[in-house]
Homo-oligomer: A and B are copies of this chain.
Amino acid sequence: MTQQPVRFGLIGTGRIGQVHAATIAALPGATLSWIADPFIEGAKGVAARFGGTVTDNPEELIASGEIDAVLIASPTPTHVDLIAAAVRAGIPVLCEKPIDLDIERVNALRPLVAESGVPVALGFNRRFDPAFASARARVAAGEIGELEQLTIISRDPAAPPADYVKISGGIFRDMTIHDFDMARFFLDDIISVSATGTQTFDDGAREHGDFDTAVTTLRAASGAIVTIINSRHSAVGYDQRIEAFGAKGSLQVANAPTSLVSLSTADAVEAKPPYETFFLERYAEAYAEELREFVKLVRGEASTSPTFEDGRAALVLADAAQRSATEGVAVSVAL
């Protein structure tokens, strides 16, 4: 089967944009055709490594007629307009999360996406992690019976700079949003959100009225309860665990080891090196799988997943969590 490679236009060449560029370049069925970044040196750097035409104007990329798909990895405030432009041009989109920090802007874009029929996929990479995907499939296969509790532990290695905290939209929209999507990956009938947030160690969070520590509880219509435990720091490395608990047992996703070696001495036994540092290491395979699935989508061989609606739902949950943590009430949601 000799298909033409899917020609990608990449918008945004920051850290995650570079990851996607490398992944596209390594993917047999894909090629990097255009690269846009207002910071043109960024685009040039990526082109030097992986090829592609550069521009400082994303609209030129979209209008080039030389791309089959657009990957939006630019700053969050640009996502809504870029999605709209790509959809209007009839070009399938893979957009990094979140769609936007403002649910009103997302809602305004919603009809265009829905009516266009153009695939818009959201970059919730964790759905493509082999371990999480396996756990979800095994829950669906009934290995643990009815799902009753889902516990997500998600801790970043270190708090972001105060400048970033300021514009991040807060921990729920910036960090927990991945966990909200993971919750919906397992349970799509969330009806209520309850959150507690505190400031325990991060000056940036204190300065900008954000939380560095948070626990969120989601209730599903089925009665299932999701617990999300977040911290902005973690001494042992990126802490990414899930436990799905059901009537017949549980499935657990452990942290990713960095070595098969353990040490036993008179002080301690079975000690292992710390876990993977952060998301680029922990989710390397997920990023590759995400793009493989997206290439299939562009080719009409797969359906969109996660969708624009999934992106919107995660933001709705984040908004609800923010309100719950601030006002001390459980917040109902209709997704």
Contacts and interface: CB of A to CB of B under 8 A. Distances in A.
Contacts of A269: 236, 255, 271-275
B247 A225 contact: no
Given A268-B273, A271-B270, A229 B194 contact: no
Copies of this chain per assembly: 4
Given A215-B217, A217-B196, A227-B229, A264 B247 contact: no
B270 A249 contact: no
A196 B219 contact: yes
Measured as residues with beta carbon below 8 angstroms from the partner, the interface class of chain A is 35 or more
A1 interface: no
B233 A248 contact: no
A155 B330 CA distance: 24
B261 A201 contact: no
A231 B273 contact: no
A183 to B, nearest CB: 13
Contacts of A261: 131, 134-135, 138, 251-254
A113 interface: no
Contacts of A263: 138, 143-144, 249-252, 268
Given A223-B200, A229-B149, A231-B149, A236 B265 contact: yes
A189 interface: no
A264 B146 CA distance: 14
A274 to B, nearest CB: 6
Contacts of A272: 268-271
Interface string A162-189: 0000000000000000000000000000
Contacts of A248: 235, 265-266
Contact of A264 (B213, B214, B252): B252
Contact of A259 (B131, B192, B264, B275): B131
A274 B248 CA distance: 12
Report which residue of A222, A248, A253 has the largest number of chain B beta carbons within 10 angstroms of its beta carbon: A248
A277 to B, nearest CB: 11
Nearest to A143: B263
Interface in A211-241: 213-215, 217, 219, 222-225, 227, 229, 231, 233, 235-236
Contact of A249 (B214, B217, B222, B266): B266
A255 B272 CA distance: 14
Nearest to A331: B328
A256 interface: yes
A213 B223 CA distance: 8
A293 interface: no
The 9 closest A-B pairs by CB, nearest first: A249-B265, A271-B271, A328-B330, A268-B271, A200-B223, A198-B223, A131-B260, A235-B266, A235-B249
16 contacts: A130-B259, A148-B213, A149-B229, A194-B330, A196-B225, A198-B225, A200-B222, A200-B223, A215-B225, A235-B249, A235-B266, A236-B249, A236-B250, A236-B269, A248-B265, A253-B260
